[in-house]
């Protein structure tokens, strides 16, 4: 019964930030997916699944609504950097959120963009799980959000999202 409410956590109206994030991130992810050959499911489907998992996990750990909005945005943007470089995609994703916000393409404050960008960066490699930030007078548990995003991202891993370049090379050599 406790899990049922978490599953329903994604069944809600979209905020202005959610809509802007979807309209911005999805086309970038479609192009990034088209450019990737070995990682063929880092597109919109993956981002939407990660967003759903993150929202459900966020509900279970008791995130505030503002934290949920920032987490959902980061889930959609966490892989957009793949359009430029797979190895540094987490850094490029962070820079993309910050730059698009500064240019007015995303309806985030500078503080919100900083947190969303940091979550994008922290979905991979080192991060500070105990970090908190102040955003417009509210405490945001940035480290907890990053932890949730990392788990949500890992929940969507399967054979399509793993680096099988050596296996692909073996198949090509065989045939």
CA–CA separation, 112 and 10 (whole Å): 21
pLDDT the model gives residue 172: 61
DSSP letter (8 states) at residue 124: S
CA–CA separation, 43 and 33 (whole Å): 5
**pLDDT tens string 28-38:** 777 776 666 55
Q: What are the residues facing 135 on neighbouring strands?
A: 138
**pLDDT grade, residue 70 (50/70/90)?**
very high
pTM: 0.77
Q: Please tell me the least confidently modeled range out of 2-11, 24-33, 82-91.
A: 2-11
Q: Is the pLDDT of residue 130 over 80?
A: yes
- Our CA angle for 151, 63, 11, nearest 5°, is 85
CA distance to 3, 9, 150, 154, per residue, from 6 (Å): 5, 5, 18, 18
Q: What are the residues facing 139 on neighbouring strands?
A: 134
**pLDDT tens string 132-171:** 999 999 999 999 999 999 999 988 876 555 555 565 566 6
For residue 97 the two structure tokens come to 């959120």
CA–CA separation, 142 and 91 (whole Å): 17
């Amino acid at each position: 019964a406790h899990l049922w409410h978490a599953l329903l956590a994604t069944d809600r109206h979209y905020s202005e930030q959610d809509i802007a994030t979807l309209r911005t991130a999805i086309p970038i992810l479609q192009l990034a997916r088209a450019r990737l050959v070995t990682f063929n499911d880092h597109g919109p489907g993956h981002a939407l699944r990660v967003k759903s998992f993150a929202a459900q996990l966020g509900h279970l750990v008791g995130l505030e609504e503002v934290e949920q909005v920032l987490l959902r945005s980061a889930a959609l943007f966490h892989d957009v950097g793949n359009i430029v470089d797979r190895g540094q995609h987490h850094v490029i994703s962070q820079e993309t959120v910050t730059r698009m916000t500064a240019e007015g393409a995303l309806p985030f404050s500078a503080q919100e963009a900083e947190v969303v960008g940091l979550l994008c960066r922290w979905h991979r490699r080192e991060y500070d799980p105990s970090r908190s930030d102040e955003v417009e007078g509210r405490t945001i548990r940035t480290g907890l959000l990053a932890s949730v995003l990392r788990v949500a991202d890992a929940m969507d891993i399967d054979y399509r999202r793993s680096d099988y370049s050596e296996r692909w090379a073996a198949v090509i050599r065989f045939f």
